[in-house]
Structure 1
Amino acid sequence: MRTALPLLSLLLAAALLVGSNGMHSTLLGVRGTLEGFGATEIALLLTAYYVGFVAGCRKAPAMIRDVGHIRAFTAFASIASAAAMGHALIVESWFWIPSRLVTGFCFAGIQMIIESWLNDRATNENRGKVLSIYRITDFTSATLFQAILPLFDPRSFVPFGVLTILISFALVPVALTRVSAPTVPSSAKLNLRKLWRVSPLAAAGSALVGLAASSYWAMSPLFVTGLGYRADVTGYFIGALIFGGALAQFPIGYLSDRTDRRYVLIGMSALALVIAAFLPVIAGLGVPALIASGLLFGAAAVPNFGLIVAHANDHAEPGEAVSVNGALLLLFGSAAAFGPLIAGQLIGLFGSAALFWWIGAIYLTLTVFGLVRLASRPAPQDAGSYVLVTRQQPTTFELDPRVAEDERPRESSPSA
C-alpha cells in the first residue's frame, strides 16, 4: 500500500483510460455488427487502431520532448475523448476507421507517458511491486468496464457519452498530481536488428502474439454473434478473456522467474493452441460455456506478451530499455494491424469458428519456433540467471525513453 499511495493519481488515470479504451473497442464491434457492417469493415476498425498506435510509438516521443509529459497527456486524452464522441455522431465506417487511427495514435502516447512515469518513480527495489500494482489496475478496470457494457443499449448515444466522460475524467488526476513528471526524453530510437540479435524468439514472438491478440480482440463480436448469441453477450466473453489473463499473470510470472522463460512461453503457446482448437465447439454450448472457454483461453494467451518482454530483457544489456522494449512494441503493433484483416476474411469464407482456428495456427507457429530455438540453444543449468534483480523490470507496452545512447554497454549478450 505504501508503494501505491504516491502513485495513486497515475494509477487512477490508467484505470479510467485502459478500461474505457477496451470498452470502446468492444462497443464499436457490437454497434458495427448491429449496423450491418461487414467483417472486413469491423476488422479495419482495429487494424486502423494499431496503425495509429505504431505511428504514435514513432512520433509521440518527439511531442513529449517538445511540450512535456503533462501537456502531451492532456492533448492525447482530449483528442481521444473527442474521437469517442465522434463515433456516436457519425455512424459510418468511412468515418469510424480514420477515427480509430487517431485513437490508436493518442493511446500510444498515453500509455508511453503513464508507464515511463511509473518507471521513473519506481526504484530497482520496488519496481516489481509498482508494475504488479499497475497490471492489477489494468486488468481489473478492463474487466469491470467490459462487464458494464451490457447495461447500455449499444444503438443509443449513452455508451459513447459515458466513454467520453470517463476519458475526460482521466485528465483530472494527472493534471492535479503532486508526483513530479519524469525528465523529458532526449531520444527514443527503435532498433529491430538489435532486438533480433538479442533474442530471435522474442522478436518473432512479439509479432505472432500481436497477430493473434488483435484478431481475438477485434473479431470476438462477430465470433459471439456467429454462434447465435445476442451482441451484448460479447462483453461477457471479452471480460472473461481479460479476467483469465489477470488470474494467470502472477502464477505464470512466478514460474518464469524460476526457470528458462522459453519453457513457460512454449508451454503456454501450446496450451493456447489446444484451447483455441476446441473453443468454437465448447463456446457454442451456452453462455456459461462461452464465458468459461474465454476464461481458459485468456489465461493461456493474454500473459504471453509479458513473457516475451521479460525474456528479451533477460538477454539485453543494462541500458537497452528503449531499443529492446520499443522494438518489441513496434513489432507487436505492426503485426496486430494485419490480424483483424486476415481473421475477417477467414470468417467470411469459413464462418465464425475460423477465428480461433486461425489463432490456433498462429500459436502452433510460435510453439514450433520456440522449440527450434530451444534446440539450438539449450537452457543453462543455472536457472537463477533468468531472475531480474537489478535490471529494469519489463511491462506490457512499455517504452521508457529515459535511457540515453551513451549509457549502453559495448558488450553484446547471446541471443535466445
Structure 2
Amino acid sequence: MGQFLSGAWALLLGILLLMLGNGMHGTLLGIRGEIEGFSTTEMSYVMSAYFVGFLGGSKLTPEMIRRVGHVRVFAALASFISACLILFPVVSDPWAWVVIRIIIGFCFSGVYVTAEGWLNNAASNETRGQALSFYMIVQMLGVIAAQGILLLGDPSGFVLFVIPSVLISISFAPILLSITPTPAFEQSKNMSFIDLWRVSPLGFVGIFLLGGMFAAQFGMAAVFGTEIGLNVTQIAMFVAAIYVGATATQFPIGWLSDRMDRRVLIMLVAVVAVFGGLAGAIYLESFEFLLVAAFVLGGTANPLYSLLLAHTNDFVSLEEMAGTSGSLLFINGLGAIVGPIAIGWLMGVFGPVAYFGYMSGLMAILALYAFYRMARRPAPSVDDTSSYTPIAPTSSPVAFEVAQIVAEEAQESDNER
C-alpha cells in the first residue's frame, strides 16, 4: 500500500483540490441564491441541473477520451469548470444558473471519469480495494474542508467564487504533471432495466431512492439552511455534519454487511435514517439537533449506497457485474435529477420542515420495501455473498466499475479457498 501512495499521492492531492472546489461551490450557491432573491423552486431547478449534466457526462466522456485522450479531456473540462464558477456572480438569473450548472455537472462527471481511470491504473490487484477506500475518504474530506473555506469571505461578494475556481485550476498541476495517461476507458454494456429489476428489485428501487436522497443532501442543504435563517457558519457546519457522518459510519456498516443478511441491515439503517429525519423536523429550531440529524442522515444514506450495490452483486454473476454497475448508476442519476425538484416543490408548499420530511419519507419507503423483499425470497448464505466495497455517490462509472472489480476479485478469492 505504501508503494501505491508513493505513486498516487499527487493524484489524490489533485482529487482533494477538485472536491474542495466542488463542495464549496455547491453550498455557496444555496446561500447566494437566497441573497439574489431566487425562490426555493428556482433553486431546486438549479441544483437538479447539476445531476442532469453529471448523468450526460458519464455517458459521453468515454467517447471523448477515446477520441482525444485522457489529458486533453481532463484539461479541457477542468478549464470549463474554472470559467463557469466565475460566471455565477456575474449573471444573477436562475435560468442562466441552470445552464451553467448543467455544464459544470457535465464537466465534473468527465473529470471524475478521467481521474478515477488514472487511480485505477495506479493501483494493483492487491491494492485496488484500499485505493478505492482512500479515494472515498479524500472525497469526503475535501467536501468537509470546503465548508470551512466558506467562512473566509462574504457570500454576497465575488471572492468566494474565485476561490473554488482557483482550486480547480491548481488541481491540474499535480495530476497532469505526474500521471501517465491510461488506455482509453472502455464502457461496459449496461444490463437492461427489466433484467436488473428481475435480478434485484430492492437494488433497483433502493438506488433510485438513494439518488433522490443524496441530491437533497448535496444540493438542497444550503437552501434549507437559508430558509430557516441559519447564518453562513451554521450552514457550513450543517453541510459538514452530513459528510462527517458519511465518513464515520461507512466502514462499521460495511463490516456488518459482510456478516448478516444485507436486507435486514438495509432496513435497519433506513429506519435509523427515518428517525434522524423526524428528529430534525421536530426540533427544527434547535441548531444542535439539526447537526445531529445531519450526521445521522449522512451516516445512513451514504453507506446505504454501497450496501445496495453489494446487495445487488449478491444476485448477479461475475460476468454481469460490470453491466449492472452502469444501469445502477443511471437509475441513481434519474433519482438525483428528480430529488431537488421534488423537495423544492414540497418546501414551497409545506415550508422548510419538508426538507427532513422528504428524506424521512424516502427512507421509510426503502425500509418497508426491504422488509417486503425479505418475505419474497430467502437470503443467500453469507459465505456466498459479494464483498462490501465503500463508494461515494459522487463517483463516476469508473469508480463504480472499480468497486465491481474489487467485489469480483474478492468473490473469486473466496471461491478458491
- TM-score normalised over the length of structure 2: 0.90
SS of aligned partner of 2:37:
coil
Amino acid in the other structure paired with 2:273: A
Amino acid in the other structure paired with 1:244: G
1:106-146 Cα offsets, whole Å, 9 max, x none, are 11111122223322332332222111111111111110111
SS of aligned partner of 1:189:
coil
Amino acid in the other structure paired with 1:254: W
1:302-344 Cα offsets, whole Å, 9 max, x none, are 2211212222233332244542212111111111111111111
Query: Using the alignment, how far apart are the partners of 2:222 and 2:256 within structure 1?
Result: 33
SS of aligned partner of 1:170:
helix
CA contact (8 A) 1:313 1:394 kept: no
Tell me: CA distance 1:291–1:148, structure 2 relative to 1, closer, same or farther (3 Å): farther
Query: Using the alignment, how far apart are the partners of 1:181 and 1:262 within structure 2?
Result: 40
CA contact (8 A) 1:321 1:399 kept: no
Tell me: CA distance 1:19–1:317, structure 2 relative to 1, closer, same or farther (3 Å): farther
Q: Which residue of 2 aligns with 1:51?
A: 52
SS of aligned partner of 1:177:
coil
Q: CA deviation at 1:20?
A: 1.3
1:163-221 Cα offsets, whole Å, 9 max, x none, are 1100001111121114x332213444333334334322111111101112212322222
Q: CA deviation at 1:160?
A: 0.5
Q: CA deviation at 1:83?
A: 0.8
Q: Does 1:150 align with 2:151?
A: yes
CA contact (8 A) 2:310 2:386 kept: no
217-226 or 240-249: which moved more?
Answer: 217-226
Q: Does 1:264 align with 2:265?
A: yes
- TM-score normalised over the length of structure 1: 0.90
Equivalent of 1:400 in 388, 393, 398: 398
Q: Which residue of 1 aligns with 2:108?
A: 107
Query: Using the alignment, how far apart are the partners of 1:127 and 1:370 within structure 2?
Result: 30
1:29-55 Cα offsets, whole Å, 9 max, x none, are 100011110011110111111111111
Q: CA deviation at 1:351?
A: 0.8
Query: Using the alignment, how far apart are the partners of 1:309 and 1:116 within structure 2?
Result: 20
CA contact (8 A) 2:24 2:147 kept: yes
Q: Which residue of 2 aligns with 1:203?
A: 204
CA contact (8 A) 1:43 1:341 kept: yes
SS of aligned partner of 1:258:
coil
Q: Which residue of 2 aligns with 1:413?
A: none
Unaligned runs of 5+ in 1: 410-416
Amino acid in the other structure paired with 1:338: V
112-121 or 370-379: which moved more?
Answer: 112-121
* 1:183-198 correspondence to structure 2 within 5 Å: 183-193=183-193, 194-198=195-199
CA contact (8 A) 2:277 2:293 kept: no
Query: Using the alignment, how far apart are the partners of 2:118 and 2:185 within structure 1?
Result: 11
Tell me: CA distance 1:401–1:360, structure 2 relative to 1, closer, same or farther (3 Å): closer
Query: Using the alignment, how far apart are the partners of 1:218 and 1:345 within structure 2?
Result: 14
Q: CA deviation at 1:230?
A: 2.0
CA contact (8 A) 1:152 1:158 kept: yes
Query: Using the alignment, how far apart are the partners of 1:333 and 1:69 within structure 2?
Result: 24
Query: Using the alignment, how far apart are the partners of 2:176 and 2:24 within structure 1?
Result: 24
CA contact (8 A) 1:210 1:332 kept: yes
CA contact (8 A) 1:283 1:293 kept: no
CA contact (8 A) 2:242 2:296 kept: yes
Q: CA deviation at 1:269?
A: 0.9
Unaligned runs of 5+ in 2: 409-417
* Bigger share in helix: 2
CA contact (8 A) 1:70 1:174 kept: no
* 1:64-103 correspondence to structure 2 within 5 Å: 64-103=65-104
Q: Over the residues paired in the alignment, what is the CA RMSD in angstroms? A: 2.2
Q: Which residue of 2 aligns with 1:279?
A: 280
Q: Which residue of 1 aligns with 2:177?
A: 176
Query: Using the alignment, how far apart are the partners of 2:208 and 2:29 within structure 1?
Result: 25
SS of aligned partner of 1:302:
helix
SS of aligned partner of 2:89:
helix
Q: Which residue of 1 aligns with 2:372?
A: 372
Tell me: CA distance 1:113–1:320, structure 2 relative to 1, closer, same or farther (3 Å): farther
Query: Using the alignment, how far apart are the partners of 2:95 and 2:309 within structure 1?
Result: 35
Query: Using the alignment, how far apart are the partners of 2:215 and 2:196 within structure 1?
Result: 22
* 1:268-347 correspondence to structure 2 within 5 Å: 268-286=269-287, 288-347=288-347
Query: Using the alignment, how far apart are the partners of 2:162 and 2:204 within structure 1?
Result: 39
Query: Using the alignment, how far apart are the partners of 2:322 and 2:60 within structure 1?
Result: 14
Query: Using the alignment, how far apart are the partners of 1:258 and 1:116 within structure 2?
Result: 31
Q: Which residue of 2 aligns with 1:388?
A: 387
Tell me: CA distance 1:314–1:225, structure 2 relative to 1, closer, same or farther (3 Å): same
Identical counterparts, % of pairs: 35
Query: Using the alignment, how far apart are the partners of 1:343 and 1:197 within structure 2?
Result: 30
Q: Which residue of 1 aligns with 2:413?
A: none
Query: Using the alignment, how far apart are the partners of 2:347 and 2:366 within structure 1?
Result: 22
CA contact (8 A) 1:185 1:401 kept: no
